[in-house]
């Protein structure tokens, strides 16, 4: 929709440049101003929507990060334990 508004505004500005009298020029300026206002309102709404979505998703993402971090710690502990077992088995094997 933003592209359409920009295209319409460009068309109105082109019309303004070739306007034959002040009334046509004033109308073109008013229409361009209205389109710019609509474009600004649309951009502000989109930004507000993004901020709201981020506010909703941030806790979920943080929870996922915390879960993955805890899982990584558990895997590291498991790996350390397996390395101890491996070292013991290698010692037993070397003694035989």
Banded pLDDT at 2 (limits 50, 70, 90)? low
Q: 0.85 cut: is pTM over it?
A: no
Q: How far is CA 16 from the centre of its chain?
A: 37
pLDDT above 70 (res 18): no
38-46 mean pLDDT: 89
**Separation CA 24–CA 1 (nearest Å):** 26
What is the C-alpha separation between 89 and 86, in angstroms, rounded?
5
Element at 83 (helix H, strand E): helix 22-95
The string of pLDDT tens digits covering residues 51-88 is 999 888 999 999 999 999 999 999 999 999 999 999 99
The answer to whether residues 38 and 5 touch, using CB atoms and an 8 Å cutoff, is yes
Between CA 87 and CA 96 the distance in angstroms is 15
**Between residues 32 and 74, which one has the greater pLDDT?**
74
């Amino acid at each position: 929709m933003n592209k359409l508004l920009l295209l319409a505004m460009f068309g109105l500005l082109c019309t303004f440049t070739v306007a034959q009298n002040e009334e046509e020029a004033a109308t073109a300026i008013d229409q361009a101003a209205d389109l710019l206002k609509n474009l600004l309102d649309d951009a502000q709404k989109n930004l507000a929507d993004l901020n709201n979505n981020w506010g909703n998703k941030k806790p979920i993402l943080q929870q996922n990060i915390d879960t993955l971090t805890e899982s990584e710690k558990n895997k590291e502990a498991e790996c350390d334990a397996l390395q101890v077992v491996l070292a013991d088995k290698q010692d037993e094997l070397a003694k035989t």
